[in-house]
């Protein structure tokens, strides 16, 4: 065993270690900055830790009473409490809809026979090839004409009914599950919807949970479309609020501590998911390239 | 009861006779009903807008006054628009900075992890940057690359390199944006390659080793060819994605400094949503669409995506 620990192997471990540090260090620095007194940002810039951590930056970006004053010319404050709520509403709406409508379609594609089924399925997959910018302009105009700018309805509309990835993902799982149980239920007179809802779906609890996690992370991180149609404070999600808060600063130095506190608020839910469901997330992502 | 059920099955299986036909029609109707919401989504927000984008691209619509049909004028204008071609060039340069390095690093990390670090913990650490948004990645690196307080310059001066201005320098901004994107994506790329490596039968390596093949020969003759399906997926998706870089630019450079990061999506965005030139922006998006289809087909062709080496 000791003979095996040769030089190339040591270099290999060193490379992996450096890579892990590079992956995590920026996130760590964001956290460190978030707990720094605004007046100490420059003096502590080079250190990896602050001696007197404060939590007031989190409180002040959340619009709560805080003992940490915002730095001078930090622009008008954005209430990230509202942005967090908006992100939760947006993500919740979008993912619930996507799970329901996509699983319904996936079930039909996997189990039911109807003319044009395969052509329709492939047209779903083909839709993923269209660059988002091509769709954003007409979709923006449509949402504007419907009077849905700055509403959650307008923000979730384009993707809530159909997400080709989710349909594809769930169809595979339905196909790889034996259908005897469902056939027996059909013979007992259960409607197709009841078979789907009471038998087929519960059997896919694991894949559905994995999909829910992946879709939630994706929805939580959405930027471009919400940026186009959801700019008002009462609907703007975290990513949009962060971009707006940053762009307010113009030429001067941004409110680093507040900005990084808000950044951490938007990262923490994702990191919690990663801590609790790390294996599930890693394993589902790594097979996404295998088809 | 049992008897009747069996008869039903037989009928449904054969799909013949009046009864079978009715069952089949009902099944088909249910099928359409089940996919109806998704189909509405497909038509209303994918198919119809694509056609509408093509239509708008033939007008001078600016949201204020009614659209006028101007034929292919937008495309003529685009052909002569130096800014558009600059943005295409910037985007292409960005892809060139981005893809080879990201793919090579991802492959190296995957091979190392396959040999040395098979734990899920390692993989969870390396995909952490991928799970946070582009916006957050951009902001976190805005801090890291800041000329005054960024840790990157501290590190550079530590090893004897003078401080750089990164995102605020016209010469370095695009490379910096590409670097941020590599940071966010390389772990995911490595993860995909890692999964690909796991699927290669180990006895191939043992056989090659018995034949006296060197490590590098095995990598070239076994690993790379058998990774090709994953390679195709990685390259096609990351190239198409890189051509559409937007989020990081939106929170770091906003196309600047001196338009050095005005990638094509940013230029289209400016035209459509800052100047309301919907017709012209749609024309550019259609050109980008066609261009990306060609790039994808070319890649599939070059990588022989239709062939398999195993089996």
What is the nearest CA distance from A67 to chain B, expressed in angstroms?
A: 24
> Taking CA atoms, what residue in B is nearest to A22?
B183
Is the model's pLDDT at A274 over the cut of 60?
yes
Is B188's CB within 8 Å of A266's CB? no
Q: What is the mean pLDDT of residues A158-173?
A: 92
Residue B286: CA count within 13 A, CB half-sphere: 21
What does the pLDDT read at residue B309?
58
3-state secondary structure chain B: CHHHHHHHHHHHHHCCHHHHHHHHHHHHHHHHHHHHHHHHHHHHHHHHHHHHHHHHCCECCCCCCCCCECCCHHHHHHHHCHHHHHHHHHHHHHHHHHHHHHHHHHHHHHHHHHHHCCCHHHHHHHHHHHHCCHHHHHHHHHHHCCCCCCHHHHHHHHCCCCCCCHHHCCCCHHHHHHHHHHHHHHHHHHHHHHHHHHCCCHHHHHHHHHCCCCHHHHHHHHHHHHCHHHHHHHHHHHHHHHHCCCHHHHHCCCCCCCCCCCCHHHHHHHHHHHCCCHHHHHHHHHHHHHHHHHHHHHHHHHCCCCCCCCC
> Considering the domain boundaries, does residue B216 fall inside one?
yes
Is A223's CB within 8 Å of B48's CB? no
Interchain contact B153–A (C-beta under 8 A): no
The pLDDT tens digits of the residues spanning A107-149 come to 999 999 999 999 999 999 888 889 999 999 999 999 999 999 9
Looking at the fold, whether B13 and B147 belong to one and the same domain comes out as no
The pLDDT tens digits of the residues spanning A46-64 come to 888 888 899 999 999 998 8
Interchain contact B219–A (C-beta under 8 A): no
Interchain contact A246–B (C-beta under 8 A): yes
> Considering the domain boundaries, does residue B110 fall inside one?
yes
> Considering the domain boundaries, does residue B310 fall inside one?
no
> Considering the domain boundaries, does residue B307 fall inside one?
no
* Structure-token pair, residue A180: 């005897």
> Considering the domain boundaries, does residue B138 fall inside one?
yes
The pLDDT tens digits of the residues spanning A141-152 come to 999 999 999 999
Is the model's pLDDT at B5 over the cut of 70?
no
Whole-complex ipTM: 0.93
> What total of structural domains would you count in chain B?
2
What does the pLDDT read at residue A5?
61
How high is the mean pLDDT of chain B? 89
What is the nearest CA distance from A263 to chain B, expressed in angstroms?
A: 6
Residue that wins the pLDDT comparison between B6 and B190: B190
Domain boundaries, chain A: 25-75+249-291, 94-248
> Considering the domain boundaries, does residue B63 fall inside one?
no
Q: What is the mean pLDDT of residues B185-193?
A: 95
Q: What is the pTM of this model?
A: 0.91
What is the nearest CA distance from B233 to chain A, expressed in angstroms?
A: 6
Superfamily (CATH) of domain A94-248: MetI-like (1.10.3720.10)
Q: What is the mean pLDDT of residues B230-258?
A: 93
Residues 23-82 of chain A with CB under 8 A from chain B are 23-27, 29-30, 33, 41-42, 45-46
> Considering the domain boundaries, does residue B61 fall inside one?
no
Is the model's pLDDT at A1 over the cut of 50?
no
Residues of chain B found within 8 Å of residue A30, distances taken between Cβ atoms:
139-140, 143
| Geometric angle at alpha carbon B40, from B37 and B42, rounded to 5° | 110
Residues 57-116 of chain B with CB under 8 A from chain A are 63, 108-109, 112-113, 115-116
Looking at the fold, whether B233 and B138 belong to one and the same domain comes out as yes
Looking at the fold, whether B177 and B213 belong to one and the same domain comes out as yes
Is A290's CB within 8 Å of B50's CB? no
Domain that residue B200 falls in = 74-302
> Considering the domain boundaries, does residue B309 fall inside one?
no
């Amino acid at each position: 065993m000791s003979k095996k620990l040769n030089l190339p192997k040591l270099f290999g471990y060193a490379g992996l270690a450096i890579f892990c540090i590079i992956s995590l260090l920026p996130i760590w620095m964001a956290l460190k900055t978030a707990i720094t007194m605004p007046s100490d940002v420059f003096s502590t810039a080079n250190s990896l830790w602050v001696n007197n951590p404060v939590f007031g930056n989190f409180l002040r970006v959340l619009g709560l009473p805080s003992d940490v004053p915002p730095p001078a010319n930090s622009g008008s404050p954005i209430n990230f409490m509202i942005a967090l709520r908006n992100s939760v509403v947006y993500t919740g709406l979008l993912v619930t809809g996507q799970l329901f409508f996509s699983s319904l379609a996936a079930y039909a594609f996997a189990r039911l026979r109807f003319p044009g089924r395969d052509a329709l399925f492939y047209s779903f997959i083909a839709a993923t090839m269209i660059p988002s910018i091509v769709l954003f302009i007409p979709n923006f105009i449509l949402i504007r004409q419907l009077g849905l700018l700055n509403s959650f309805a307008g923000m979730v509309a384009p993707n809530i009914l159909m997400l080709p990835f989710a349909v594809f993902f769930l169809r595979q799982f339905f196909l790889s599950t034996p259908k005897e149980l469902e056939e027996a239920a059909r013979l007992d007179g259960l409607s197709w919807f009841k078979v789907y809802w009471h038998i087929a779906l519960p059997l896919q609890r694991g894949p559905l949970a994995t999909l829910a996690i992946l879709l939630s992370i994706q929805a939580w991180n959405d930027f471009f479309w919400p940026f186009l149609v959801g700019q008002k404070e009462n609907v703007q999600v975290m990513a949009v609020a962060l971009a707006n808060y940053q762009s307010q600063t113009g030429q001067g130095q941004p409110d680093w501590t507040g900005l990084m506190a808000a950044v951490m608020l938007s990262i923490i839910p994702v990191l919690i998911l990663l801590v609790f469901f790390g294996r599930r997330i890693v394993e589902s992502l790594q097979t996404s390239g295998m088809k | 009861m049992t008897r009747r059920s069996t008869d039903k099955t037989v009928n449904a299986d054969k799909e013949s006779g009046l009864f079978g036909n009715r069952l089949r029609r009902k099944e088909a109707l249910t099928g359409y009903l089940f996919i109806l919401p998704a189909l509405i989504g497909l038509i209303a927000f994918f198919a119809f807008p694509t056609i509408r984008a093509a239509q708008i691209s033939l007008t001078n619509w600016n949201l204020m006054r009614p659209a006028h049909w101007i034929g292919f004028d937008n495309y003529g204008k685009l052909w002569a628009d130096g800014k558009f071609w600059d943005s295409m060039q910037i985007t292409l340069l960005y892809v060139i900075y981005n893809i080879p390095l990201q793919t090579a690093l991802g492959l190296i990390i995957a091979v190392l992890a396959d040999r040395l670090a098979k734990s899920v913990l390692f993989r969870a650490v390396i995909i952490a940057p991928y799970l946070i948004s582009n916006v957050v990645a951009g902001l976190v690196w805005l801090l890291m690359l800041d000329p005054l307080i960024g840790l990157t310059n501290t590190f550079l001066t530590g090893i004897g390199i003078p401080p750089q201005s990164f995102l605020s320098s016209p010469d370095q901004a695009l490379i910096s944006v590409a670097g941020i994107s590599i940071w966010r994506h390389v772990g995911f790329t490595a993860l995909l390659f890692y999964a690909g490596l796991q699927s290669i039968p180990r006895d191939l390596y043992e056989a090659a080793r018995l034949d006296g093949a060197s490590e590098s020969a095995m990598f070239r003759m076994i690993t790379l060819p058998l990774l090709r399906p994953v390679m195709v997926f990685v390259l096609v998706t990351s190239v198409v994605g890189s051509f559409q870089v937007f989020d990081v630019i939106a929170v770091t450079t906003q196309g600047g400094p001196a338009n050095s990061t005005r990638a094509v999506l940013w230029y289209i965005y400016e035209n459509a949503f800052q100047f309301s030139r919907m017709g012209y922006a749609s024309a550019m998006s259609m050109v980008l669409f066609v261009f990306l289809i060609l790039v994808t087909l070319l890649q599939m062709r070059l990588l022989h995506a239709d062939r398999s080496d195993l089996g």
